[in-house]
Amino acid sequence: MPDQTVTIELFDQEPSTFAGGLLVYLVEEGISQATESDLVINRLLAQVRETGDFKGEEDQIFLLYPELISMEAARNVAAKRVLFVGLGKQDDAINGRRERLRLAGGTIAKQAGAVKAKEVLVVLPKKYLLDAVEIAQCLSEGLMLGSYRFDLYKQPKEDAPAVQVERFLLHDGGLAASAVHKGLELGWILASATCAARDMANQPGNNWTPADFAEYAKKLGKKSRLKCTILDKGNLQKLRMGGILGVNQGSAQPPFLVILEYRTNKKNPTILLVGKGLTFDAGGISAKQSVGMEEMKYDMCGGAAVLAAMRAIAEIGLAEMNVVALVPATENLSGSAALKPGDIIRHYGGKTSEIINTDAEGRLILADALAYGIETYKPQAVIDVATLTGAVIIGLGHHYTGLLGNNDQWANQLIEAGARVGEPLWRLPLGCEYRKQIDSKIADLKNAGSDRSGSTITAACYLQEFVGETPWVHLDIAGTAWNFTEKSYIPKGPSGIGARTLVDCLRQWRPIQSADKN
């Protein structure tokens, strides 16, 4: 796995002494100074404004080469290039301001790549209306996420050696250095975890198997304070997890249930995270069409998000909370022993399910994990993350993750977290009229309705059968896990969505009042 090599550090000298490839100032529209202390930079900005080519509008950039400027004082700037990046107008909405910094970070990363700068210094905007920790955090996230590349399988071209940013430096610009330091560390951890989730997703199905999920979790367990337990096929058989085992029947790769635990104190609340770790979904006997099927290697993005979140949680720490993550991992193929339409399976805990469509396999593996996780760890609240239905893409496109759940307070906590981190969520309803669509004549339920109407909702109804009264939220990331809204810090392909929302939600967790059910 390519590990994130880009670093971000604090720079405590005068920005003018920075002799690297790119020196960056963030400029708000309508504010005439780029910095509190550097008169030369402010004079340059004034001249640039006079050209009319740069006003500080959102996403606007202007690149200067100090050496080529006739102004004598410009010689005092040691950097090879100076870049002004627009932040747009002051905006009341705080989430909008967070997002603009992430976008600016992504833009800087792209520009640094274009000019092949190895070292980049960004001077933070002192007057930006946001807490200093958050300014540094959001910008760092944008810088790191925007620098992401996956070239593990490309031969390096000898004639054109790739130059990548190696180091980002942040100058506090007059903000408290300790806050900036805290923010950049947070941003780095969250972005690195997100990039790790992107890496897992980018890996081809033959190099990211259920065993690779298990290996990754074991390594995390060794490196951090997380406890890792791997349940193998034998364990799953003893526990009678007919969902995971059933889906696995058509595959030569053994299944695993990966467990990571972040523990503080028994008295603290426990939150359960469950992620769909389907490392390739060919549909099984109810085969998918072959056009575009290669994208089904991404069917493990829920599992990736959950593991990435645990990695970040272990690094950041959560004082008064326990977090348990479960990733049921298998392929869904059509080997001769594969599950067939009409078969009946028995889930962990005893509920039976008639298989109508073997391509509706995500709910089968999640159901076992949810039932087992809730019984074993008795969590106060549960979140599952899964690329569960094609229908969510029809409904919400690639811009919002679908959210469904049995508790308004818990759903709202997630919606707020998603809005803070730039991963928006949209709630869909649940209800007995949808639940009826998966009534089976001969089993407790069936795994798909007779048509695809409301199939994002009926999929969630299936999961709801396994969570009982525990506050639970389901995130259907089929539309956002890859080809999520393209932005400067979100590339085409896997987005790594979910990890930052999960961590943010847990860091801001408020106990759920039991009276308020959905």
- Interaction between residue 329 and ligand BES (CB under 6 A): no
Contact 144, 196 (CB under 8 A): no
How many of the other CB atoms lie within 10 Å of CB of 202? 25
**Residues binding Zn ion: number (CB under 5 A):** 6
Q: What SS3 class is residue 439?
A: coil
Q: Which of ligand BES, Zn ion, none is residue 448 near (CB under 5 to 8 Å by kind)?
A: ligand BES
Task: Figure out which of the listed residues 305, 478, 502, 505 binds ligand BES, where binding follows CB under 6 A.
Answer: 478
Rounded to whole angstroms, the Cα distance separating 35 from 154 reads: 41
In three state form, how does the secondary structure of 27-70 look?
A: EECCCCCCCCCCHHHHHHHHHHHHHCCCCCCCCCEEEECHHHCC
The only residue of 339, 360, 366, 505 in contact with ligand BES, by rule CB under 6 A: 360
Query: Nearest distance from residue 355's CB to Zn ion, in Å?
Result: 12
Candidates 32-40, 175-183, 204-212, 389-397 — which segment interacts with ligand BES by CB under 6 A? 389-397
| Residue 476 touching Zn ion (CB under 5 A) | no
Tally the C-alpha atoms within 13 A of residue 225's C-alpha that lie toward its C-beta.
Answer: 12
- Out of 58, 141, 281, 476, the only residue in the binding site for Zn ion (CB under 5 A) is 281
The piece of 106-114, 251-259, 277-285, 462-470 that touches Zn ion (CB under 5 A) is 277-285
Amino acid at 126: K
- The verdict on 362 binding ligand BES (CB under 6 A) reads yes
**Which CB, 278 or 314, lies closer to Zn ion?**
278
Q: Does 359 bind ligand BES (CB under 6 A)?
A: yes
Q: How far apart are CA 213 and CA 215, in angstroms?
A: 5
Cα–Cα distances in Å, from 384 out to 99, 274, 279, 367? 25, 4, 17, 10
From residue 286 to residue 325, the character string flagging contacts with Zn ion as x (rule: CB under 5 A) and all else as - is: -------------x--------------------------
**C-beta closer to ligand BES: residue 248 or 380:** 248
Among 448, 475, 502, 512, binds ligand BES (CB under 6 A): 448
Q: Which helix (H) or strand (E) holds 411?
A: helix 408-421
| 281 touching ligand BES, by CB under 6 A | yes
C-alpha distances (whole Å) from 258 to each of 211, 218, 275, 331 are 10, 9, 10, 14
288 is catalytic: yes
Strand partners, 266: none
Contact 60, 86 (CB under 8 A): yes
Give yes or no: 49 in active site: no
DSSP 494: B
357 binds, among Zn ion, ligand BES, none (CB under 5 to 8 A by kind): ligand BES
Among positions 56, 183, 255, 362, the unique one binding Zn ion when judged by CB under 5 A: 362
Which residue out of 225, 288, 346, 427 is catalytically annotated? 288
Write down the least CB distance from residue 204 to ligand BES, Å.
Answer: 17
Name the site residues for Zn ion (rule: CB under 5 A). 278, 281, 299, 359, 361-362
The set of catalytic residues is: 288, 363
